[in-house]
């Protein structure tokens, strides 16, 4: 039996500060883009001193990387839960629903990831590629297991991901009055999985 790790107040404050900085940064990056957002603006939104950002992340690129790594960790956990013990249409439906729920619950991070997905000259490109790979991996594996060739499996998985993300953007940007079930049902119907 392991003993829980105790943290002192200083460690807890640092964790809280890091989270506040990453939350503020994700919101600003989603709204204005990474390039157009300054460290001063992030510090102001987070309610902390500018030096705290450099203390915790060393640079703006380090902060962007941390936000993306965190989003990737959340994505990996969610996809593992969604795909556990599922195959075929049930797996695809679970992945689509989980992805839409993540977008709904983490709007800023989702907008940031989608915006950065098409940029190839960023130091955090590997984090974007990892996020994408985490999302499509259960689909690719399942499609290949059902006899679909590797290239077609990757393309079909990307198409499922693309349909879910496009519908999520339509939902959150243009029609926030739609409900989660309405959006996920529409995506699954489009994919022929309902």
Domain ranges of the chain: 9-190
pLDDT at 3 over 60: no
Neighbours of 149 (CB within 10 A): 10
34, 64 contact by CB (below 8 A)? yes
| Nearest-angstrom CA–CA distance, 118 and 112 | 11
- Model pLDDT for residues 77-107, shown as the tens digit of each residue: 999 999 999 999 999 999 999 999 999 998 8
Whose structure tokens read 């957002």?
37
The predicted model scores a pTM of 0.80
pLDDT tens-digit series, residues 134-170? 889 999 999 999 999 999 999 999 999 999 989 998 9
Q: Token pair of 66, please? A: 């941390």
* Listed residue (193, 81, 65, 189) closest to 134, CA to CA: 81
How far is Cα 114 from Cα 186, in angstroms, rounded to an integer? 20
Q: Which fold has domain 9-190?
A: Tetracycline Repressor; domain 2 (1.10.357)
- 47-59: pLDDT as tens digits: 999 999 999 998 9
């Amino acid at each position: 039996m392991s003993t829980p790790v105790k943290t002192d107040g200083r460690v807890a404050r640092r964790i809280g500060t890091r989270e506040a900085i990453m939350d503020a940064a994700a919101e600003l990056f989603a709204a204005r883009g990474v390039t157009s957002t300054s460290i001063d603006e992030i510090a102001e939104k987070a309610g902390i001193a500018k030096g705290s950002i450099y203390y915790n992340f060393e640079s703006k690129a380090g902060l962007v990387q941390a936000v993306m790594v965190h989003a990737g960790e959340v994505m990996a956990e969610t996809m593992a839960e969604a795909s556990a013990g599922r195959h075929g249409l049930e797996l695809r439906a679970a992945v689509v629903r989980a992805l839409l729920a993540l977008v709904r619950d983490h709007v800023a991070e989702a907008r940031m990831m989608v915006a950065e997905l098409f940029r190839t000259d960023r130091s955090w490109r590997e984090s974007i590629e990892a996020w994408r790979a985490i999302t499509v991996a259960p689909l690719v594996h399942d499609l290949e297991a059902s006899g679909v060739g590797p290239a077609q499996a990757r393309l079909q998985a990307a198409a499922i991901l693309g349909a879910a993300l496009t519908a999520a953007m339509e939902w959150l940007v243009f029609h926030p009055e739609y409900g989660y079930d309405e959006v996920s049902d529409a995506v699954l119907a489009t994919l022929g999985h309902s």
